[in-house]
Structure 1
């Protein structure tokens, strides 16, 4: 799947993996060595994240039920807890620096395209 910004038609990530079961949401990116550029993990349902047992920083998009961006965190370091964003129903975890390379901002809507 691709992650596309509806407002700008910009592809944010080319290869999005879904974490939709209890165990895949629980594991997330824990114990992975790195996240490839142009990759992402969509975790749903999910209202908050942590980076415990991770070895690298990530950028996070917090999405409401319509996939509108209600929160953005950049460069969340390993061993930290992410912010709690009101109305967040799912999150997209991306390689650190992805948000600085795109024109994505809060309030925009994203879609996942096969």
Structure 2
């Protein structure tokens, strides 16, 4: 597991970040997951759009550019929805619904994945 930091605000955001590194993990995403805890999130590299078909819960989606700066935030994306491609996004982090606002993640924040 990895840790997600907000470099802009010098704060730890998530202590249990899963990175979907393989093609299988990227394709699966959160499908089959019943929920995420407040300290859990999923980073999907090489991804600029998502869908929530067949999911059981809503999520927040934070899209990042190649420098891991926040390009877009989609809050409380309910099951069976599509978030269309975000221009310039290179990855997405999926959080429990409402968590991006609780963590005060804002457009332009620079995030960092560490161990």
1:69 aligns with 70
Q: Normalising by the residue count of structure 1, what TM-score does the alignment of the two structures yield? A: 0.95
User: Which 4+ stretches in 1 moved above 3 angstroms?
Assistant: none
Structure 2 Cα separation of the partners of residues 35 and 19 of structure 1: 15
State the 1:84 CA deviation.
Answer: 2.1
The total of aligned residue pairs comes to 114
What aligned pairs does 1:36-55 form with structure 2 within 5 A after superposition? 36-55=37-56
Which segments of 5 or more consecutive residues in structure 1 lack a partner in the other structure? none
Q: Do residues 34 (structure 1) and 40 (structure 2) align? A: no
Structure 2 residues without counterparts, runs of 5 or longer? none
Q: Which residue of 1 aligns with 2:24?
A: 23
Which residue of the partner structure matches residue 113 of structure 1? Answer: 114
| More strand by percentage | 2
Structure 2 Cα separation of the partners of residues 72 and 63 of structure 1: 9
Offset from partner CA, 1:60-109 (integer Å, 9 cap, x none): 11001110110101000011001321100000001111112122100111
